[in-house]
Amino acid sequence: MATLSAPGPLVLILCFVLYQGKGKAGTTESSCQYSVLKSVKENEAHVVNNTGSKDQNYTIRIKDKHNETRAEQISHQTAFKIPFEWLKPCTVYTVSVDDCKLSGNNTFTSSKNGETVPKTVVTSVTDNEVCLKGELTGIQWDLTECVEITEQNSCAHTHTVVLDTCNYTMNVDLPPVKPQINFKETIPSQFEWMNKPERCNAALLIINCINNENKKGTIYGLNTPVLLLLNTHYSCTGEYPREKQPIKSHELDIQIKCDWKKNGRFQSLSSSSLEISWTSLEGDRCSGIEWDSYSASCKTPERHGNNHPGSCTQDSVTSTVCRITGLLPYTDYTCSITGTVNQTNYVIYTGNSKILSDKPIFRSDIEVTHTSHNSLEIKCENKGPKIIWNGEEGTFEAEITYNGEPLITKPKTKCSFHFPDLYYLTTYNIKVPK
């Protein structure tokens, strides 16, 4: 085995000799013979005289312990210098030439001593690999290596190139392994770096979230409370900075769905008001929201008019009691409570309720008609507004009294009564109760 150990750049010389000989059958056969020599002087090779033609082509193959590293065809020369750019330092190589016989030893070691590389260049970066090139002073060896990024070597500041007989140290900042980020779809929550390597700085990882509805982006940090818009789709990506391009995580889809509307209760206070209480349910995804304020309103059916705003008393950041007044008796309302946080409003409860009934409002004039000499007809709702029941529709009764004795009709759904067979020239008191 030849070992290159001169102080300066060394050159390997591959020598070829053509010869003629007799075969077993007495025929003439032609072949070549090669040997691997080392130079004696810096940048100077041995001169080898070959007998025969220089026009023959040769294929040279160079292998390390594992793979063939180079195959080159040469012609019109019988001495070939193997460039150092083809070789790694401190590596054992074997040389062969197709269809040529070996003379001597064809194995050599490129160099013996390792060192710290003066300059290391990152040539490429993928999700799981970074490729490095060492730039040396003096001999320009092929000092390149692609490194698989793992949690163990992520964010390391050096990389050791392990060769056959020595090691080279590269001063280089390795990227982190592809980040895996997580976000629990609850409130409160925060982004977490699940596979953070020990050497990596968590403060450098940023989370870029895109609101899929308005396409706006927001930057977040790790391990700090985050309040995304509720019931909204987001696409979030973790990014760790690098000189040319950041190392990115897979995209994380997020939507925080809140189930608020089960935890409101109505209580009717009177025939013109009601009360709604709301408390955040313990264990709900969004139970941790601390609301800034609350508001409430009730909407009447279209035939009755506009919304009725209410006032809310904030018992705590997670509960409130709201009162709405000025409502119509015995009327169905759809009421809602709105919570406000970070200047954003969310309808946190919606429900239906019917207001208590009240006394009917009777504003019609009672009309009495003498249909004959001894009969009366009593009607209402012909003049003035119709009766407002303020509850379920009821019935009418008409009552006339003579000398304290009442005469009462049967209940009727319409205010129209006929009293026959009355006394002549008699005064009666008339009453129409509802």
> What pLDDT digit, counting tens, does each position of 9-64 carry?
444 555 555 444 444 555 444 467 788 877 654 433 222 223 334 667 778 888 99
pLDDT category at 80 given cuts 50, 70, 90 is: confident
Cross-strand partners of 207:
220, 238
| Residue 220: CB atoms within 10 Å | 17
Instruction: Report pLDDT for 227.
Output: 86
Return mean pLDDT, the chain: 83
Instruction: Report pLDDT for 400.
Output: 83
The CATH number corresponding to 367-431 among 2.60.40, 3.40.50, 2.40.420, 2.20.25 equals 2.60.40
DSSP 203: G
pLDDT category at 304 given cuts 50, 70, 90 is: low
Instruction: Report pLDDT for 55.
Output: 66
Instruction: Report pLDDT for 30.
Output: 43
One-letter amino acid at 161 equals V
Cross-strand partners of 246:
none
Instruction: Report pLDDT for 85.
Output: 85
Instruction: Report pLDDT for 10.
Output: 45
DSSP 53-119: -S---EEEEEE-SSSEEEEEEE-S-SEEEEPGGG--TT-EEEEEETTEEE-S--EEES-S---B-SE
Q: Say if 2-109 and 367-431 have the same CATH topology.
A: yes
Q: Are 127 and 21 in contact (CB under 8 A)?
A: no
- Nearest Cα to Cα of residue 48 among 30, 60, 33: 33
Please say whether the structural domain 2-109 has been given the CATH code 2.60.40: yes
Query: Is residue 210 scored above 90 in pLDDT?
Result: yes
Q: If you average pLDDT over each of 208-222, 282-296, 403-417, which comes out highest?
A: 208-222
Instruction: Report pLDDT for 166.
Output: 95
Phi, psi of 202 (to 5 degrees): -65, -25
DSSP 302: G
For 216, residues 6+ apart whose C-beta sits below 8 A from its C-beta are: 210
The CATH number corresponding to 264-354 among 2.60.40.10, 3.90.420.10, 3.20.20.80, 2.40.30.10 equals 2.60.40.10
- For the chain, give me the number of helices (H) and strands (E)? 0, 34
Domain ranges for the chain, please list them.
2-109, 119-171, 181-254, 264-354, 367-431
pTM of the entire predicted model = 0.68
Residue 161's SS3 state is strand
Average pLDDT over every residue of 344-354: 91
C-alpha span between 274 and 122 (Å, rounded): 71
Strand duo 100-102 + 28-38: pairing: parallel
C-alpha span between 291 and 344 (Å, rounded): 10
Percent of the chain with pLDDT over 70: 85
